[in-house]
Chain A
Amino acid sequence: MPNPILIAVMVFYLATASITAQASLKLPQTIKVDRAALTAEPPCDPKISPAWREAQVIDGVKIDASPACSPDNPAWIAAAVKGTNNVSMDTLMKTGLSPDTIIKTDDLDGDGDPDRIIIKLEVMELNGKSPDFPGIVPTFDIAPGVQPGVWVFAPKGSGMSTENFESVRANPLLRLPAPVIRVEQGDIVQLVLENTHYFPHSIHLHGVDHPFMHKEHGGGDGVPQTSEIELMPGERRVYEFQPRQAGTMFYHCHVQTHTHLSMGLAGMIVVEENRPNNWLQTLNIGGGHVRHSSVAIKEKFDQEYDMHYHAMDKELGDIIQKYNDPRLIARDMNQRYDITDSTEDYYTINGLSFPYSLRESLIIVKPDQKIKLRLLNSGGEMIAIHTHGHHATITHYDGVEHNPVAQIMRDVFDMAPAQRLDLTLETTNDGKHSYGEGDWLIHDHREKGITTNGMAEGGSMSSIVYTSYLGEDGLPKTSHFGIDLSHFFTKEYWERRVPIWQDLDETANLGSPAGQTVSMDAATKNSLLNATYGLLIGILIYFIFSKREYIKQSVMTVISRNKDGKGSQQ
């Protein structure tokens, strides 16, 4: 008689085996992520009026056209050129700046421009933890949905930090990077730091001619280990200097520099050559295109761009999203965070990563132009900026002009941390300066430089675009080549939830496979199977135990039958 239990076990094994065989016979379908399921953002910031792109005059300030899709607020430029003390109230109200953010007075050398400049900066936190709701505030995206915790020097503002009471989004002045500061050679500059942050900070004027002084005499080098103690929360300090040399320089916080710099407290400062009637755009908020260049730049160049490259570590920024208590943030940043074990995750140009970099930081050119590029690397590692389609000439290193005879042309520009390079880009189609018109990438050629938290194509990537390749909306006309960038403008892409090659062919050959029919992970499945085995074995043992008399009897009868049989045969 066949044993029923044995049969049961056999059947069970066969069943599981056949299920497995079935599964490998029929691989899961490809699932294509429906575009409609994505949180699509318009490629251009809808809050920015297209009228901002046009060349215009505000309060007598000439502002160049800037055809990019999200150009700077022209009111910012007017206020920065005239000073918030001289600009009309109407214009000032469009800036969100405080009336004392930029005070320009006293034409000391009688050459038609103000020589006493007061610039007020505050320290703002973006994307920090709230004790009230499970989110961060005020939010600032470097790419769609990408919100690293950062600190930044912001021009002194007025009113709310967010767009309005209902919104958690930061107002447009609160953004990366710290604004580019422009002053004239010989100006008496008072850079006023109002520490609105909950941690101590300072300003170090890297490369800018400034005196070494005690803090009570206007501060000095910003270094708490030499001349200057930390500027505490709620305090103000005035950094006064009168720069004798022109050049592209750097300013940053020098308190716990290994974290504060990476957190975003770093900006470009440019000292322009002294010229008559030289009204400078004192702040270039957001960096990028300079729409009111200095007299000296206009003498030699058609256009000017400030390009601030920065890098941030996600684990560092996460600290301000993990805690609200400043003591815990201080502990984790100062004592537990180990920069020697850190890696950079976010790479930005002028505070943004691709694709947002296309909104603001395109270099938009025409043939046969001469363009001034000022580059700053405020990241913690060497970068290697590569210009597609162009060789540019390095004219200045760290703000000092290189011997004109020895100046070289390159297409990869290596920059040590804190280094500045001035480049002259000529769009002359000669196969060397330029290979002709196009939408030419400009990017960090360390490949991680084109990623955002490891997800490509992001990072500090931007383009040199000829106007003939620029769309109506101010973005490169990629659709002309059948290229669709819209998936980059969804937060799901950066959450790694969109297979990037799914749309390359009809069948979505490299799309995402559907899950197996049993919708559970391998570990649970395994333990469930084991539990079933255990249960079966248990039942078996119980069965044997309860029927032991019967089994014994049947075994005995079988044996005796055999014996009998044998006996009868014999």
Chain B
Amino acid sequence: MIKIIKIAFLLTGTMVLGSVATAQQQQAKPNEHEQHQQHSEQQKEQPAAQHEHEEHHDHSGHSMSKTTGPATDHTGEHDKDHSVDDKTHEHAIDHSKHNVESTEHGDMHHHHHMDHDHMMDHEGTMIMGQNLDKLPSSCKSISEEVEITVRAGRKYAGKFPGTAFAFDQQEWRVKPCAKVTFHFINEDQIRHQFMMHGLPKYLYKYGMFHLEVTGPKTVSGTIIAPGSDDTFLVHCDISHHMEKGMKAQFIVGKGSENIPSIPGLTPYNRTDIYEAENLPRVSDKANQSAMVREITKTFAKQDTQNYLIILLGALVGLLCIPLVKMLIPRKKTEK
């Protein structure tokens, strides 16, 4: 226990650990997002819970984990965690009685722990491959502590034609050996993931760091960036979310090669073929009198166009006759 406290104090600012340890799943703050207005009622329902969380930021990581119950306790009492299950489900029952969208409630007090690498709560909010304290072998110390807020949702695809889902940013840069806490805010009402690949496997199982949450809600997790320049793929692995835009890159130091098909950033390896379509336009009818339309219609016909081009050719030919005449006599004189 003392060891844990020490580590907690040494490695993190209270805020970082607090947010990580609770794996905050508070509802996205009701600032500029329309969709959150509809959830304002729920937020009213649990102002106490939210308030509690804000307070936690001011406490040390350890005291916080005490207040938030065994599920967020990092002392390794995993066996106890399962005993919490019953309570969790009672909680779920209560909500479902009153609210159709009962499961939207962020109940961040109860976590099902799997192991240190894999945390999941009763709604499937997941933190996998988190690294709070293990320094990469190429790092002597942590170079900087960074907090990055990542928003995910359909609306961010708006600025990239031909995509369906996206992150709010497509690239994040940190120094080598930086300790980075990602606050992943899912603004849709479905699952999204923040999944990073290619991390060193001796620190990260499968070389992966993975946050997953059904929105609108937030989940946070921390990693320590490797000591060398590198670029890592970040994506959502739900079927065709990456293919349809939810893709980004995490650049450490100067980075390495860019990752392809990141919307607005790097070209697709395989592009679709686009062709102009015959779409109706307002100008088609508004600016044209019936007469003009009739005439343009005849002109637009393939046959008419062909005849016109033949006529044009003939005219050009006629114009060229004098030139030819000029040329031929010259040749004769040359001879």
Residues of chain A having any CB pair with chain B under 8 Å: 85-86, 88-89, 93, 98-100, 103, 105-106, 116, 118, 120, 122, 124-126, 128-134, 137-138, 156, 158-162, 164-165, 170, 174, 190, 192, 194-198, 218, 232-236, 238, 240, 322-328, 331
CB distance from A114 to the nearest CB of B (A): 10
Interface-lining segment among B40-48, B58-66, B239-247, B291-299:
B239-247
State A213–B63 Cα separation when bound (angstroms): 49
* Pairs of residues from A and B, 10 with the lowest C-beta to C-beta distance, nearest first: A198-B164, A98-B124, A234-B188, A234-B154, A236-B189, A325-B162, A131-B268, A105-B93, A194-B190, A161-B239
State which of A98, A116, A238 has its C-beta within 8 Å of the C-beta of B101. A238
State which of B190, B241, B268 has its C-beta within 8 Å of the C-beta of A235. B190
Q: Please, which residues of chain B bring their CB within 8 A of the CB of A126?
A: 239
Q: A131-B261, A132-B269 are in contact. Are A196 and B154 (CB under 8 A)?
A: no
Task: Fill in one digit per residue for B111-126: 1 if any A CB lies within 8 Å of its CB, else 0.
Answer: 0101000001111101
Contact between A197 and B240, CB atoms less than 8 A apart: yes
State A134–B271 Cα separation when bound (angstroms): 11
Contact between A327 and B162, CB atoms less than 8 A apart: yes
Contact between B243 and A122, CB atoms less than 8 A apart: no
18 extra interface residue pairs, beta carbon distance < 8 Å, beyond A99-B122, A156-B191, A196-B238:
A88-B82, A93-B114, A98-B191, A99-B124, A100-B124, A106-B96, A128-B239, A131-B270, A158-B124, A161-B238, A164-B206, A198-B244, A233-B154, A234-B153, A236-B189, A238-B100, A238-B101, A327-B162
State which of A120, A165, A170, A322 has its C-beta within 8 Å of the C-beta of B206. A165
State A325–B96 Cα separation when bound (angstroms): 39
Q: Please, which residues of chain B bring their CB within 8 A of the CB of A236?
A: 101, 189-190
State which of A89, A93, A100 has its C-beta within 8 Å of the C-beta of B123. A100
Q: Please, which residues of chain A bring their CB within 8 A of the CB of B101?
A: 236, 238
Return the chain A residue nearest B274 by Cβ: A328
Contact between B212 and A235, CB atoms less than 8 A apart: no
Q: Please, which residues of chain A bring their CB within 8 A of the CB of B237?
A: 159-162
Main secondary structure of the interface of B (DSSP, over half): loop
Is residue B260 within 8 Å, beta carbon to beta carbon, of the partner chain? yes
State which of A85, A131, A164 has its C-beta within 8 Å of the C-beta of B92. A85
Q: A99-B123, A190-B100, A234-B165 are in contact. Are A195 and B190 (CB under 8 A)?
A: yes
Return the chain A residue nearest B102 by Cβ: A118
State A98–B121 Cα separation when bound (angstroms): 10
Total cross-chain contacts (CB, 8 A): 156
Contact between A89 and B92, CB atoms less than 8 A apart: no
Contact between B212 and A326, CB atoms less than 8 A apart: no
Return the chain B residue nearest A331 by Cβ: B277
Is residue B197 within 8 Å, beta carbon to beta carbon, of the partner chain? yes
CB distance from B153 to the nearest CB of A (A): 6
Q: Please, which residues of chain B bring their CB within 8 A of the CB of A233?
A: 154, 164-165
Task: Fill in one digit per residue for B208-219: 1 if any A CB lies within 8 Å of its CB, else 0.
Answer: 101010100000
CB distance from B247 to the nearest CB of A (A): 9
Task: Fill in one digit per residue for B159-177: 1 if any A CB lies within 8 Å of its CB, else 0.
Answer: 0011111000000000000
**What are 13 residue pairs bridging A and B, where the CB atoms are less than 8 Å apart in the complex?**
A89-B114, A129-B243, A130-B270, A131-B260, A132-B269, A161-B237, A174-B239, A194-B190, A198-B165, A234-B153, A235-B190, A324-B272, A325-B162
State A128–B153 Cα separation when bound (angstroms): 21
Most B C-beta atoms less than 10 A away, residue of A162, A233, A323: A233
Is residue B85 within 8 Å, beta carbon to beta carbon, of the partner chain? yes
Is residue B305 within 8 Å, beta carbon to beta carbon, of the partner chain? no
Q: A118-B102, A125-B240, A174-B239 are in contact. Are A105 and B112 (CB under 8 A)?
A: no
Q: Please, which residues of chain A bring their CB within 8 A of the CB of B277?
A: 331
State which of A99, A122, A159, A218 has its C-beta within 8 Å of the C-beta of B112. A99
State A85–B89 Cα separation when bound (angstroms): 7
State A116–B261 Cα separation when bound (angstroms): 44
State which of A85, A105, A124 has its C-beta within 8 Å of the C-beta of B239. A124
Q: A99-B124, A328-B272 are in contact. Are A105 and B89 (CB under 8 A)?
A: yes
Contact between A326 and B190, CB atoms less than 8 A apart: no
Q: Please, which residues of chain A bring their CB within 8 A of the CB of B272?
A: 322-325, 328
Q: A100-B122, A132-B269, A326-B162 are in contact. Are A232 and B154 (CB under 8 A)?
A: yes
State which of B82, B97, B102, B260 has its C-beta within 8 Å of the C-beta of A89. B82
For chain B, the bracket of interface size reads 35 or more
Q: A161-B238, A196-B239 are in contact. Are A131 and B85 (CB under 8 A)?
A: no
Q: A85-B92, A89-B85, A198-B165 are in contact. Are A128 and B240 (CB under 8 A)?
A: yes
Is residue B67 within 8 Å, beta carbon to beta carbon, of the partner chain? no
Is residue B103 within 8 Å, beta carbon to beta carbon, of the partner chain? yes
Contact between A324 and B100, CB atoms less than 8 A apart: no
Q: A103-B103, A198-B244 are in contact. Are A234 and B208 (CB under 8 A)?
A: no
CB distance from B150 to the nearest CB of A (A): 16
State A118–B96 Cα separation when bound (angstroms): 9
Q: Please, which residues of chain A bring their CB within 8 A of the CB of B123?
A: 98-100
State which of A131, A134, A218 has its C-beta within 8 Å of the C-beta of B243. A131
CB distance from B188 to the nearest CB of A (A): 4
Q: Please, which residues of chain B bring their CB within 8 A of the CB of A85?
A: 88-89, 92, 122
CB distance from B155 to the nearest CB of A (A): 8
Contact between A99 and B120, CB atoms less than 8 A apart: yes
Return the chain B residue nearest A328 by Cβ: B272
Return the chain A residue nearest B103 by Cβ: A100
Contact between B100 and A218, CB atoms less than 8 A apart: yes
CB distance from A280 to the nearest CB of B (A): 18
Q: Please, which residues of chain A bring their CB within 8 A of the CB of B212?
A: 158-159
Return the chain B residue nearest A235 by Cβ: B189
State A468–B173 Cα separation when bound (angstroms): 65
Contact between B243 and A130, CB atoms less than 8 A apart: yes
Q: Please, which residues of chain A bring their CB within 8 A of the CB of B112?
A: 89, 99
State which of A131, A327, A331 has its C-beta within 8 Å of the C-beta of B271. A131
CB distance from B274 to the nearest CB of A (A): 7
Contact between A234 and B189, CB atoms less than 8 A apart: yes
Contact between A133 and B238, CB atoms less than 8 A apart: no
CB distance from B87 to the nearest CB of A (A): 12
CB distance from A563 to the nearest CB of B (A): 46
Return the chain B residue nearest A174 by Cβ: B239
State which of B97, B240, B261 has its C-beta within 8 Å of the C-beta of A198. B240
Return the chain A residue nearest B240 by Cβ: A125
Q: Please, which residues of chain B bring their CB within 8 A of the CB of A133?
A: 269-270
Contact between B92 and A103, CB atoms less than 8 A apart: yes
The residues in B between 267 and 285 inclusive whose CB is less than 8 angstroms from any CB of A are: 268-272, 274, 277
Q: Please, which residues of chain A bring their CB within 8 A of the CB of B189?
A: 194, 234-236
State A181–B123 Cα separation when bound (angstroms): 21
CB distance from B182 to the nearest CB of A (A): 18
State A430–B159 Cα separation when bound (angstroms): 70
Q: Please, which residues of chain B bring their CB within 8 A of the CB of A131?
A: 243, 260-261, 268-271
Q: Please, which residues of chain B bring their CB within 8 A of the CB of A128?
A: 239-240, 243
Return the chain B residue nearest A237 by Cβ: B189
Q: Please, which residues of chain B bring their CB within 8 A of the CB of A327?
A: 161-162
State which of A88, A130, A165, A196 has its C-beta within 8 Å of the C-beta of B190. A196
Return the chain B residue nearest A114 by Cβ: B93
State A103–B123 Cα separation when bound (angstroms): 10
Q: Please, which residues of chain B bring their CB within 8 A of the CB of A120?
A: 103
Return the chain A residue nearest B208 by Cβ: A165
Q: Please, which residues of chain A bring their CB within 8 A of the CB of B120?
A: 99, 158
Return the chain B residue nearest A232 by Cβ: B154
Contact between B190 and A106, CB atoms less than 8 A apart: no
